[in-house]
Chain A
Amino acid sequence: MIAVRGATKHYGAVHAVDGVDLEVAPGELFGLIGHNGAGKSTLFKMMLGLIPATAGDIRIDGLPVTGNGFRAVRRKIGYLPENVVLYDNLTGVETLEFFARLKGVTAAECAPALERVGLSHAARRRVREYSKGMRQRLGFAQALLGRPRILFLDEPTTGLDPEAIREFYVILRGLKADGVTVILTSHILAEIQERVDRLAIMASGRIQAVGTVQALREQMDLPLWFRVHLAHEDFEHVRNVLGGLPVIAVEAREDHVAVKCRRESKMLVMQALASLGDTVLDLHVHEPSLEDVFFGFAD
């Protein structure tokens, strides 16, 4: 359980993080998104206890992240920094053994961690021979050492190919099933959108919105688009059928008719379109993407 209350970090006149409140529940898969400079990295490091807060209170399982109890907190967490460069001269297994000793974890955990991220075959090779994706996997394996209850992953899928990204989220779901809390950042919004339980959008040092993807869409009240493919060019007929309904726009496009409406009118419009019967060959509902939500909030 992570509890952030009024977390603030000022560098002189710059308000990098400005009064952030946030709670992440045990076993939750939580995404943090925002532009560069939005303050998400600073907030991330504050939650890890790497940057002391100017004001506010940050606790993990009830313990403050800085101060005397910090070692107990650190043993609960795993961290993968953004773009981390590990030590070229060490092999994969030596790298993990080094971090295992720093965490006070037995070296017996290293081989299973490598296995979990699919690096067993390269365990005895030097990191300098690793590809970018392999380095990222090794960094992830490092974060898994000590069976952390909370994982902080900063841009964890950078450098991974689509197949590796899929495998990565399979591992995350496995961890989630074991009750591990995961906080991750990503700039690939489409990727995060389908996979996190909740997410927070950050801009100008503040959390602009937090919730499930669905809740954020509703909160933004972004219009939906229907893409209607007709059996024959009968645009006026469609317009007439939709006539009395609260639609925003009906436009004839090259090979379809586009109908724009508010979320609350969605079912009404669908029913009206269904009444057209065989005239409608196909129907797509275009929901606003997280990008739309993101830019709606962040701008």
Chain B
Amino acid sequence: MELRQIATLAGKEFWDRIRNRWVLAVALVFTVFALVIAYFGGAQQGTVGFRSIEFTIASLVSLVIYLVPLIALVLGFDAIVGERERGSLDLLLSMPITRFELLLGKYLGLAAALAFSTVAGFGLVAIVLSAQLNLAALMHYFGFMLSSVLLGLAFLSLAVMVSVFAADRTRASGFAIALWFLFVLVFDLLLLGALVVTGGKYGGEIFPYLLLLNPADVFRILNIFSLDDVRTLYGLATVFPRALAEPWLLGLVMTAWIAAPLGVAAWRFRK
């Protein structure tokens, strides 16, 4: 492994996103949404203003689960296919680097941009709210930020996989949007439907494990079990057994969701 070359590729991707203000824009979106949710999230119940960190994180989780996968997929879908389409992929591949190093460098650079904007966006909110938060609440919030970053990295990994498989950018964007629909909208619905159709007779035991097949659900579970007061706000994921809900275990599953698509992408890209 040539770390210098990987760092060069990653650096270019990262600085490209800084220079074209992508990082700034995404961080601002996170900050604004998070502040609005923190202060007006209870408006339906007739209250305005910051309530509790639990309610705020519960609302933010719902936001992040839609927004972060979408942003990550849009960020990564053309990583490889974009270079292929402009004709610069052959040039990059003619350098003294392996295909894996190219893929890894691109992924790490995009991952850094995504992680940076997530941490900056939500971190700013933490600073604004810090006067109203105790240490425990800050730890919860920190956990939420970390899991948001992991969620983004998992979907970025899926996006890079798409960009290796797709023949052109148009198809890659189609696949990316399809993945978003699948994981964010359709997956839970299918599971729930299957559970209802079978009257809960079959699959009741494996059901929690099936949730692990969706990084968005893993993210949701990661955040519920640190927040006892608001479990009822989370719907489906609350059927998850406590024993499986160890943060380190879920973190491991999330890491697998980051590594696996990237591994498949590397395998395919080598061909």
Q: Are A81 and B5 in contact (CB under 8 A)?
A: no
Residues on A with beta carbons closer than 8 Å to the beta carbon of B2: 71, 104
Is the beta-carbon distance between A50 and B90 smaller than 8 angstroms? yes
B79 within 8 A of A: no
Q: Which residues of A contact B256 (CB under 8 A)?
A: none
User: A98 near B12 (CB under 8 angstroms)?
Assistant: yes
Does chain B have a CB within 8 A of A167? Answer: no
Contact between chains at B96 and A85 (CB < 8 Å): no
CB-CB under 8 A for A83 and B95, given A101-B8, A102-B9, A104-B5: no
B201 CB-CB contact with A under 8 Å? no
Q: Which residue in A50, A84, A103 is a CB contact (below 8 Å) of B96?
A: A103
Tell me the number of A-to-B contacts counted with CB atoms below 8 Å. Answer: 61
Chain A residue, CB-CB nearest to B8: A101
CB distance from A73 to the nearest CB of B (A): 8
- Minimum distance in angstroms from A61 CB to a CB of chain B: 15
- The one of A70, A71, A85, A89 that contacts B88, using a Cβ cutoff of 8 Å: A85
B144, chain A: closest CB distance, angstroms:
33
Given known A48-B94, A75-B96, contact A102–B87 (CB-CB < 8 A): no
Q: Mark B1-43, 1 if CB is under 8 A from A, else 0.
A: 0101100110010001001100000000000000000000000
Known A-B contacts A101-B5, A102-B5; the reply to A83 vs B87 at CB < 8 A is yes
Residue-wise interface mask of B (69-91) relative to A, using a CB-CB cutoff of 8 A (1 in contact, 0 not)? 00000000000000000111011
Given the known A-B contacts A50-B94, A89-B16, are A102 and B8 also in contact in the complex, defined by CB atoms under 8 Å?
Answer: yes
Interface residue from A49, A74, A84, A101 paired with B87 (Cβ < 8 Å):
A84
Across the interface, do A81 and B95 meet the contact criterion of CB distance under 8 Å? no
Asked if A81 and B87 sit within 8 Å, CB to CB, the answer is yes
Taken together as a complex, chains A and B put the C-alpha atoms of A81 and B94 apart, in Å, by: 10
**Number of B interface residues, CB 8 Å?**
20
Closest A residue to B7 using CB positions: A101
Contact across chains for B90 and A81 when beta carbons are under 8 A apart: yes
* Chain A positions 69-83 with a Cβ under 8 Å from a chain B Cβ: 70-71, 74-75, 77, 79, 81-83
Docked pose: A84 CA to B90 CA in angstroms? 9
A86 adjacent to B96 (CB under 8 Å):
no
Among B16, B19, B86, B94: residue with most chain A CB under 10 A = B94
The 4 A-B residue pairs whose C-beta atoms are closest, nearest first, are A74-B96, A85-B86, A101-B8, A79-B94
If A84-B90, A102-B96 are given as contacts, then 16 extra A-B residue pairs at C-beta distance below 8 Å, sorted by A number, are A48-B90, A74-B94, A75-B96, A81-B87, A81-B88, A81-B90, A81-B94, A82-B87, A84-B88, A85-B88, A86-B88, A89-B19, A102-B8, A102-B92, A103-B96, A142-B91
Q: Give the B-binding residues of A (Cβ under 8 A).
A: 45, 48-50, 70-71, 74-75, 77, 79, 81-87, 89, 98-99, 101-104, 142, 152
Q: List 30 A-B contacts (CB under 8 A).
A: A45-B90, A48-B90, A50-B90, A50-B93, A70-B96, A71-B96, A77-B94, A79-B90, A81-B88, A81-B91, A83-B87, A84-B87, A84-B90, A84-B91, A85-B86, A85-B88, A87-B16, A89-B16, A99-B91, A101-B5, A101-B8, A102-B5, A102-B92, A102-B95, A102-B97, A103-B95, A104-B2, A104-B5, A142-B91, A152-B94
